[in-house]
Amino acid sequence: MKKNTGADFEQVSSSGIHENLFAELYYFFSTNKRWWLMPIVVVLLFMGFFLLLSSTAAAPFIYTIF
């Protein structure tokens, strides 16, 4: 069994191919052909956005949506 020294991880992390979360997600979806996960990720992002807004002055407007 090959012992992993961490050099592979350092090489990949310093390559700078993926710069942000959305690029990383797109790369994951396109290489692994997991496009069925996209609606789940979108719904989770919207729910997180609504939770963030629920603690602001926009809360009464958000509660009328549901």
Distance (Å, rounded) from C-alpha 48 to C-alpha 66? 15
pLDDT of 9-27, one tens digit each? 677 666 666 578 778 888 8
> What is the average pLDDT across 19-48?
84
What residue type is assigned to position 41 of the chain? Answer: V
Q: Is the pLDDT of residue 57 over 60?
A: yes
| pLDDT at residue 43 in the model | 93
The residue ranges of every structural domain in the chain are 35-66
Q: How big is the CA angle at 22 (ends 8 and 6), to the nearest 5 degrees?
A: 10
What residue type is assigned to position 38 of the chain? Answer: M
Beta carbons of 8 and 17 less than 8 angstroms apart: no
